[in-house]
Amino acid sequence: MKKYSTEMYVIGLALLLAFAITTLNTPTVFPQETVLFSKAVRGPLPISDPESEFWTTLPSIQFPVAGQNITTPMLLGVPIKQLTVNSANNGTWIAFRIEWSDATRNVNTSRTEAFRDAVAIMFPILNETKPPFLGMGEAGKPVNVWHWKGDWQQDIDTGFQDLEHAYPNVQVDYYPFANTTQPNTIPPLTNFSVNFVAGWAANNPLSNPFKVTPVEDLIAEGFGSLTHQTHQDVIGKGVWKDGRWRVSFARPLSTSDGSDVQLRPGQTRFVAFAVWNGENSEVDGRKSISNWHTLQVESVFPEEGILVSRSLWQVAGVGGAFVLSVAILLAVAHDWRRKTRAKQ
């Protein structure tokens, strides 16, 4: 057998070293399925504070997202981005924090050409071994989408962004069905008869000026089927600072709504993400999406709860086994004694 030269060993070692350094030091970008660990914690989750230090204590996974090019409208020619995601649950609620860099803060959609920044989490509603079609589910295999919107966040933070916010100098002589005593003033949309605000009258959640949460709870069975749910169960908050969005989402692990994904501690589910850059007119299918990944919901209180329960079970188990063994021994002894007596 031919012996390898010293140079070959050096090159091999160098390659190995390079590989080790690369894999250890670069951000962990996983081209394939990755496991997002929802850490079990005790007490309340900082669900309305996406900037809390708490999130940095959690395992963080970086998910690459690329322009959606499965169906039109597509997002082409946009570099791959990265979402950093953390998750935690306290046995009752589950929370996520998504972080990504975005140089511009787009939170107003009043102008025809203005689009919002947004981010979404998607879960298959059915707990099956294979995820449904990544394009927002498929017939019979619905997905639950939690969609955070920059403009809804702004509505909640600073009040409904009305026409006059986008156009401060707007001047209108007269609106026939506005509740106002002042001529030549622009009353807020909420002073108008809802009958003449078509989207609002049609119960379109986008048109309702009263926003409760920046996160819309949706269901879909494939492209174009995205539908606002009757029960809105997701809350959250987004904060933009120094070119980064940090958005938190939270929902009870289980809800009474059949259109929602139901999560249980100890469970493994599929999860996918999408992000929109309003500055680049990204809206609808023009988004960056991740693959399906795995979400592992850790059982509650692993440090204490499970240990306590485990020792309890152990005590019970050992005790039970001891009692059982004694009983069997006694029974056997009793039987043996009887038999010997009978022989005598």
Of 83-91, 172-180, 236-244, 299-307, the segment contacting other proteins by CB under 8 A is 172-180
- Choose which of 69, 101, 179, 254 interacts with other proteins (CB under 8 A): 69
Whole-angstrom Cα distance, residue 127 to residue 142? 11
- Report the residue number, 19 or 177, with the smaller CB distance to other proteins: 177
CA angle 267–271–275, rounded 5-degree value: 150
Q: Are 301 and 92 in contact (CB under 8 A)?
A: no
User: What part of residues 308-337 is at the interface with other proteins (CB under 8 A)?
Assistant: none
CB of 283 to other proteins, least distance (A): 5
Of 103-111, 287-295, 308-316, 328-336, the segment contacting other proteins by CB under 8 A is 103-111
CB of 120 to other proteins, least distance (A): 13
Q: Report how many residues bind other proteins under the rule CB under 8 A.
A: 46
Binding mask 5-44 vs other proteins (x if CB under 8 A, - otherwise)?
Answer: ----------------------------------------
87 CB contacts (<8 Å, ≥6 apart)? 36, 37, 38, 39, 58, 94, 95, 96, 97, 295
Residue 178 is a binding residue for other proteins (CB under 8 A): yes
35 CB contacts (<8 Å, ≥6 apart)? 61, 293, 294, 295, 296
Binding mask 71-90 vs other proteins (x if CB under 8 A, - otherwise)?
Answer: xxxxxx--------------
Q: Are 52 and 18 in contact (CB under 8 A)?
A: no
Nearest to 76 by CA among 319, 288, 306, 237: 288
Whole-angstrom Cα distance, residue 265 to residue 262? 10
- Report the residue number, 149 or 269, with the smaller CB distance to other proteins: 149
Residue 158 is a binding residue for other proteins (CB under 8 A): no
- Choose which of 66, 156, 197, 239 interacts with other proteins (CB under 8 A): 197
Residue 162 is a binding residue for other proteins (CB under 8 A): yes
CB of 30 to other proteins, least distance (A): 26
- Choose which of 203, 254, 309, 325 interacts with other proteins (CB under 8 A): 203
Q: Are 215 and 155 in contact (CB under 8 A)?
A: no
DSSP 184-248: T----GGGB-GGGSHHHHTT-TTT-S--S-SEEEEEESSTT--EE-SS---EEEEEEETTEEEEE
Residue 202 is a binding residue for other proteins (CB under 8 A): yes
Whole-angstrom Cα distance, residue 260 to residue 73? 27
CB of 280 to other proteins, least distance (A): 13
User: What part of residues 116-155 is at the interface with other proteins (CB under 8 A)?
Assistant: 151
- Choose which of 189, 261, 272, 274 interacts with other proteins (CB under 8 A): 189
Q: Tokens 């050096």: give the residue.
A: 10
Side-chain-side CA neighbours of residue 94 (13 Å):
25
Whole-angstrom Cα distance, residue 172 to residue 184? 6
Question: Which residues of the chain form contacts with other proteins (CB under 8 A)?
Answer: 69, 71-76, 109-113, 151, 162-163, 166-167, 170, 172, 175-178, 186-187, 189, 192, 196-204, 206-207, 223-226, 281, 283-285
